[in-house]
């Protein structure tokens, strides 16, 4: 990460600002192939192309806001949210994140295939800073919502991809974050479970001061869950305003 980049992360959920980007740029290096990428670690002159996934991106999200990130595939929406979660780091600019973040991105990522579902949930809870009593209190609710029955005590290598995704969603949506990040995850499982997931998200959003950052291509979901829209194109902010106006701007600009 460049020395020009500045990251400020706190657990202060009383701060009126939840997320703030100031002139944030995230640059990726694109190599010809995996061999070139490997050799670049030893030979800095290895040729590569540069792509700015986010370019001079600035916005402020207040505590309790619900914001939809709209844009075409590759526009830089998910990159921005990865920076918020700490998965990606910017090349320059300042990022502020105040409050505990729960990200529903790749729901099945991070599970240990050799551990049971229960053991994986306990591990995730520990990483979240939860006490043993808090974790064990939540476990029955999570297992019940995920609908995996006795498989909760089986190694996760025996799970189908749908079971892993349901368990990941059940955990991430059962904890109480200050900042909730969703990236196209509401179509979880079959139609019935997807409807159940939507209902769970509505319950979360009814909570006090939960800040929602939502990447979606479903304009109806964006309108149902969010009051504000950020439209991003080629890594740059093109619109910031009320959700209905943002949807119309996106429709017009993408047509």
Query: For 109-134, what is each residue's pLDDT tens digit?
Result: 678 999 999 999 999 889 888 899 99
The string of pLDDT tens digits covering residues 44-67 is: 888 888 889 999 999 999 999 999
Tokens 């800073």, residue located: 129
Q: Is residue 28 situated within a structural domain? A: yes
Q: Is residue 106 situated within a structural domain? A: no
Listed residue (110, 193, 187, 99) closest to 156, CA to CA:
110
Q: What is the CATH number of the domain that holds 243?
A: 3.40.50.300
Q: Is residue 27 situated within a structural domain? A: yes
Phi, psi of 10 (to 5 degrees): -140, 165
Q: Is residue 80 situated within a structural domain? A: yes
- Predicted confidence at residue 3, as pLDDT, reads 52
The segments of the chain whose pLDDT lies below 70 read: 1-3, 105-109, 184-190, 207-208, 255
Q: Is residue 233 situated within a structural domain? A: yes
pTM of the predicted protein model? 0.79
Listed residue (98, 85, 103, 108) closest to 175, CA to CA:
103
- Predicted confidence at residue 242, as pLDDT, reads 97
Q: Is residue 196 situated within a structural domain? A: yes
Phi, psi of 104 (to 5 degrees): -100, 85
Q: Residue 231 in contact with residue 249, Cβ under 8 Å? A: yes
Q: Is residue 136 situated within a structural domain? A: no
Count of structural domains, the chain: 1
Q: Is residue 250 situated within a structural domain? A: yes
- Predicted confidence at residue 175, as pLDDT, reads 80
The range of the structural domain enclosing residue 245 comes to: 8-34+49-100+177-255
Q: What is the DSSP letter of 78?
A: H
Alpha helical stretches, state H, the chain: 34-39, 77-85, 117-127, 132-146, 161-174, 191-205, 219-225, 243-254
């Amino acid at each position: 990460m460049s020395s020009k980049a500045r990251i400020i992360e706190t657990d202060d959920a009383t701060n009126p600002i939840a997320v703030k980007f100031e002139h944030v740029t995230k640059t990726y290096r694109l190599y010809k192939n995996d061999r070139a990428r490997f050799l670049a670690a030893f030979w800095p002159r290895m040729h590569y192309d540069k792509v700015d996934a986010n370019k001079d991106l600035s916005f402020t999200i207040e505590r309790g806001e619900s914001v939809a990130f709209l844009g075409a595939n590759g526009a830089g929406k998910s990159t921005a949210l990865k920076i918020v979660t700490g998965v990606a780091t910017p090349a320059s600019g300042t990022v502020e994140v105040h409050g505990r973040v729960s990200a529903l991105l790749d729901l099945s990522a991070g599970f240990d295939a050799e551990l049971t579902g229960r053991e994986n949930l306990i591990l995730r809870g520990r990483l979240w800073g939860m006490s043993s009593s808090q974790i064990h209190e939540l476990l029955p609710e999570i297992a019940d919502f995920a609908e995996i029955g006795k498989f909760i005590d089986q190694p996760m290598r025996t799970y189908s991809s749908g079971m892993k995704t349901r368990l990941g969603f059940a955990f991430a949506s059962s904890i109480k974050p200050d900042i909730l990040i969703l990236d196209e995850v509401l179509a979880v499982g079959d139609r019935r479970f997807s409807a159940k997931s939507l209902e769970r998200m509505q319950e979360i959003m009814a909570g006090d001061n939960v800040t929602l950052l939502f990447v979606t291509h479903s304009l109806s979901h964006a309108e149902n869950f969010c009051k504000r829209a950020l439209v991003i194109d080629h890594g740059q902010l093109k619109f910031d305003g009320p959700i209905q106006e943002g949807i119309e701007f996106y429709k017009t600009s993408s047509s």
